[in-house]
Amino acid sequence: MSIREGERFSPEEYKNHPRFANIKHKHYVPVWNQNEKTGPLEDFVHVDAGHRADSTFPNLLPRKEVKVRKYTPKFGTEIKGVQLSSLSESARDELALLAAQRGVIVFRNQDLKDCPVETAAALGRHFGRNHIHPTEPNVPGSNEVYVVYREQNDYYFQELADRRTNRMTWHADISFERQPSGTTILGILERPELGGDTVFADTTEAYERLSPAFQDRLKGLKAVYSSEGSIQNARALGGVVRRDGITTEHPIVRIHPVTKKKSLFVNPERTQYIVGFKREESEYLLNFLYDHITKSADLHVRANWEDGTVVVFDNRRCIHSAILDWNDNISRHAFLIKPQAERPTEELDDISF
């Protein structure tokens, strides 16, 4: 019986399991069976760290040796010369603001992968309550840090190839929760030599490109999200289920509490249907919005992974997809921290701070 089919091990047994024999960073080995029952997540008051930030970024970008390169005029930035593991409280506030403004920040030459897991978890807590996923694997000793682990012979590759003409899985993280993630941290641990990038789409610019009349038509519309499918799949495979499923409604257009800009908040992998619409009506409108976001190449940036790269992105103003295109017989291994933010609203007055 394989791990995927429900075996249960101690963290040390996971680290030494033959499936993970070649993993370099053993403190990030996937663990499925710790803290299995967490109960439902309670609502909490979220105050975005970006509200406290100095908009001149004196603590985050203080030195001449820091190199900043914008990927596009409005979306995506690469930074060299800043070490996330040693940021001050003020610098973390500024990072939240910069991520809100630029959507995606690619940091090079980071040491988080070599630090204790708690270093990364503590960084995440600065931006909100670190999310504990109902079914996904965590790391030994922390249920706040996810593991993304894809092998070349993973069934997931073949499943996508068998049923679709592409392997793109555009989504916003944990959009089924009442309070989805905001400032999010994704760090690479192992990667193929070529391929395996992550592409991001700017949903703020996508909204702003719509005509005023179309924007007005979207006002007040809500869509449904659910974790029930993931729960059922995990149970069918004998996997871990930490809490029961949840079904949530969110506005199709949400506003950012810091930038005060609106974004489209829909994604092909997670959004189910529009409340109050018949099936064909819902599919017609959602498919237009999906195509608008995912097929407009001028809304996209592609994060190319290098050893030590960590990407910080604002999950409220972009969607993303891994690119499952590599041919090497090597795993793609990463860690992911998803601090939860405010409940999505269409207007600032409705946000609970």
Tokens of 79: 């930074």
What is the rounded average pLDDT of the residues 86-96?
A: 98
Radius of gyration of the chain (CA): 20
User: Which residue would you say has higher pLDDT here, 287 or 164?
Assistant: 287
178: nearest Cα among 213, 226, 239: 226
Beta-bridged to residue 79, according to DSSP, are 68, 107
- Kindly report, residue by residue over 100-117, the tens digit of the pLDDT: 999 999 999 999 999 999
**Range of 165-169, 192-196, 309-313 with top mean pLDDT:** 309-313
What is the residue extent of each domain of the chain? 3-350
Q: Which fold has domain 3-350?
A: Double-stranded beta-helix (3.60.130)
Between CA 228 and CA 210 the distance in angstroms is 32
Q: Which residue has the higher pLDDT, 130 or 350?
A: 130
The predicted structure's pLDDT at residue 2: 44
The answer on pLDDT for 5 being more than 60 is no
> Global pTM?
0.94
Q: Following CA atoms 175, 179, 182, 187 in sequence, which dihedral angle do they give, to the nearest 10 degrees?
A: -60
For 232-260, write each residue's pLDDT tens digit.
888 887 778 899 999 999 999 999 999 99
User: Do residues 186 and 200 make contact, with C-beta atoms less than 8 angstroms apart?
Assistant: no
Work out the average pLDDT over 22-28. Answer: 89
Q: What is the mean pLDDT of residues 180-209?
A: 96
- Parallel, antiparallel, or unpaired for β 104-107 and 129-130? unpaired
